[in-house]
Amino acid sequence: DTEVTQTPKHLVMGMTNKKSLKCEQHMGHRAMYWYKQKAKKPPELMFVYSYEKLSINESVPSRFSPECPNSSLLNLHLHALQPEDSALYLCASSQGRGENTEAFFGQGTRLTVV
């Protein structure tokens, strides 16, 4: 199984809403990632978890709150988002860090903030 599963596929939320994005992998990978991708741009790294601990936060606003409940799951909690946060949010996982540890990506959640 080389799948990273993200739910929901699409999400529309108001600026006062609270919602969560979910990501799951069963490849035994110990690193998990959140990326944000705007139209016609490459993905931008947001967060990295390694062994269920937050390893990298790329100065992401606090209205995005990641959580890694266990080695297979990764959540992204959303609160008080702005319309400019509308984007494709991609989850990825890898065996670890360093060379030759390619990342496997999910299909993404298309988020629209209204």
Sites of contact with other proteins (CB under 8 A) = 4, 6, 31, 33, 40-43, 45, 48, 50, 55-56, 88, 90, 92, 94, 97-108, 110
CB of 40 to other proteins, least distance (A): 8
Beta-ladder partners of 6: 23
Considering the complex, state which of residue 4 and residue 78 has its C-beta at the smaller distance from other proteins: 4
* Residue 80 Cβ vs other proteins, minimum distance, rounded to whole Å: 26
Minimum separation from the CB atom of position 33 to other proteins (A)? 7
Give one DSSP letter per residue of 78-103, joined into a string: EES--GGG-EEEEEEEESSSSTT---
Residue 98 has a CB neighbour count (10 Å cut-off) of 7
Name the 3-class secondary structure at 5. strand
